[in-house]
Amino acid sequence: MLVSGAFGAALAAGVAGGSPAHSSPCHSQHTCPSDHHTYVWTDTSTGLLWDCAEPGAPEYDPSRDTTTIVYQGLTYYCRTGQAIVTTATESTSTSATTTTSPATPGPGEPSVILPDPAITPGALNPAVRQGTISRTICVKGWTKTVRPPVSYTNALKIQQMVAYEETGSPSAYEEDHFIPLELGGAPKNPKNLWPEPHSQSTLSDPLETQLKRKVCSGLLTLKKARAAIRSFKNSQG
């Protein structure tokens, strides 16, 4: 999948603290991305990190660095970092072209599953709009009031595993909301639910929370947050 500007938002270079593998920062003597062999992209509109390296660098891992970012004629290979807390405003000054492939699952884990738009196009909760966020998603504990029971999602998960041709153990998957409840996704509509391996949810869940916090703090519109999570899940699962 080809994404311009990393999920529709411009990317700003940043420094990742405490990253043992990809550790070379940008600094005043280098443009960002740094001309070191590693660097970190920070998407300030979503808080999403891209932890990158040049091919041939000791830190480069082709099984994990599956996202290609082309910037100023140079190509870097990146893995998805964790969502970070940032108060920066949305950047519009720097653009990049990003090609994303799902990361390779670990031993014994289900294959990466991308949502099939014919089965899981996403659906919205009509009660959640930009003008109602203060009464819905931004109220502590609100998602618990709309979350469907486990009996419903477990039964749907079995059905959708067949539709997605997944033959693994159901316990290795969770029935995930494509548009999360935190961003006003439809709670029980099957078009907004799909069987997601737990290995994928460890990446998407922190981003969902971060996006909701940015919406509720006024740093990001609900529309842009929904677009960001759509792009992430369509490319990373």
Taking residues 103-131, report their average pLDDT. 81
| 3-class secondary-structure state, position 174 | strand
* Residues spanned by the domain of 19: 2-100
Least confident residue range of 83-87, 155-159, 183-187, 221-225: 83-87
**Beta strand 38-43 pairing with 48-53:** antiparallel
Going by C-alpha positions, the residue among 123, 99, 108 that lies closest to residue 194 is 123
Asked whether the bond before 33 is cis by omega within 30 degrees of 0, the reply is yes
Burial of 214 (0-12, 13-18, 19+ CB in 10 A): buried
- Domain identity same for 93 and 178: no
pLDDT in tens, 27-70: 443 344 554 556 666 655 555 667 777 766 677 777 777 777 76
Helices (H) and strands (E) counted in the chain, each on its own, are 5, 9
More confident residue, 207 or 149: 149
Instruction: State pTM to two decimals.
Output: 0.59
Residue 16, pLDDT score: 31
- Domain identity same for 90 and 175: no
- Domain identity same for 89 and 166: no
pLDDT in tens, 78-106: 777 654 443 333 333 344 444 444 444 55
Taking residues 138-166, report their average pLDDT. 95
- Domain identity same for 148 and 201: yes
Q: How far apart are CA 141 and CA 131, in angstroms?
A: 19
Going by C-alpha positions, the residue among 114, 79, 80, 73 that lies closest to residue 97 is 73
| 3-class secondary-structure state, position 135 | helix
113: phi > 0 → left, psi -120 to 50 → alpha, else beta; which?
beta
Please say if the pLDDT value at position 131 is more than 90.
yes
Domain boundary among 58, 83, 100: 100
Domain assignment of residue 116, yes or no: no
Q: How many domains does the chain have?
A: 2
Domain assignment of residue 22, yes or no: yes
- Domain identity same for 94 and 25: yes
pLDDT level of residue 110 (50, 70, 90 thresholds): low
Please say if the pLDDT value at position 153 is more than 70.
yes
Q: Note the helical H segments in the chain.
A: 5-8, 142-146, 150-163, 198-216, 222-236
For the chain, what is the mean pLDDT? 73
Please say if the pLDDT value at position 7 is more than 90.
no
